[in-house]
Amino acid sequence: MDEWSNAVVTSAEPIAAAEHGAQQAKSSAAHGIERFLDDRGSGLLRAAWLLTGDDHHAEDLLQTALVKSLGKYDALANDHKF
């Protein structure tokens, strides 16, 4: 390898490490979301049904709320922040 190739390989290592860390964080967040849904999903669906009075509308409402809130999961995940 020439000097330029070594520089490219060396500079790519921190990027690969950062990408690996980001993947681990996403994996951890995904696990947290799954656990949240396991713990509270049925209660959220019941609350959505009480608001809509219809099974299908309740599922749609819950799905919409979850999609909109998943980007803020880290902020919402801790009940003590409220």
Q: What domain count does the chain have?
A: 1
Averaged in consecutive runs of 10 residues, what is the pLDDT profile of the chain (82 residues)? 49 51 58 85 96 97 90 71 54
Task: Quote the domain boundaries for residue 8.
Answer: 3-81
- pLDDT of 61 reads 96
- pLDDT of 16 reads 52
Whole-prediction pTM value?
0.58
Long-range contacts of range 69-75, CB-CB < 8 Å, 24 or more positions apart? 70/33, 73/29, 73/32, 73/33, 73/36, 74/29
Q: With contact defined as beta carbons under 8 Å apart, do 77 and 36 qualify?
A: yes
In whole angstroms, give the CA distance from residue 44 to residue 58: 9
